[in-house]
Structures are given as structure tokens and as C-alpha cells.
Amino acid sequence: MISVLAQERLLGAALGSVFTGIVVLEQRRRIYKSISDTQSQFTTHSQMGEPIFEKRSRLDIAHLWNKAVDQTLRPVIESLSSRGW
């Protein structure tokens, strides 16, 4: 059986966790709302539909990233492949 003191501690921990969770979620909601409000003030209607990068340049960046990772990790991959991994 759990003693009364242990039950009180478990109840306090549970209530404290719930309270902390509620406070954190409320703060996040307020932060996201303030960010959204600020961005909507500075963004004009014509800027909303324009992407920062064009699709082609994003594909080029992704290709260069993959190529760099392949070249960097090539010795590790070759070593693992030679061992049958």
C-alpha cells in the first residue's frame, strides 16, 4: 500500500505537471499569436504569394547539399560496406 505521504506527493506532482503544462501552452499560444500579428502588419498582400527561393534554386541547393554529404561521408560508407554492414 502507498502511504498517505506518498499519495500526497504523487498528487502534488501530477497537479504541478498539469498546471505547468497549461502555463506553457498558454505562453506558446500568446507568443505564436503575437508573431502572427506582427508578421501580418509588415506583410503586404502581394508578398504573401511569392516564394523566397524559386523552385529551381531550391532543387539546386538540395542537390549540392546531397553531393557534399556524399563526399564527406564516402569513407565511412565504404568502410561499413567492406565489413558487410
Same domain, residue pair 1 and 36: yes
Same domain, residue pair 4 and 35: yes
Same domain, residue pair 5 and 25: yes
d(CA 10, CA 2): 10
Give the pTM: 0.43
**What range defines the domain where residue 23 resides?**
1-45
**What does the DSSP assignment read for 59-79?**
HHHHHHHHHHHHHHHHHHHHH
> Which tens digits make up the pLDDT trace of 15-51?
999 999 999 999 999 998 888 888 777 765 445 555 5
Tell the burial category of 46 from Cβ atoms under 10 Å away from its Cβ (0-12, 13-18, 19+): exposed
Residues 6+ apart with CB under 8 A from 82: none
Residues 6+ apart with CB under 8 A from 53: 61
Same domain, residue pair 64 and 41: no
Same domain, residue pair 72 and 38: no
**Total domains present in the chain:** 2
Same domain, residue pair 8 and 39: yes
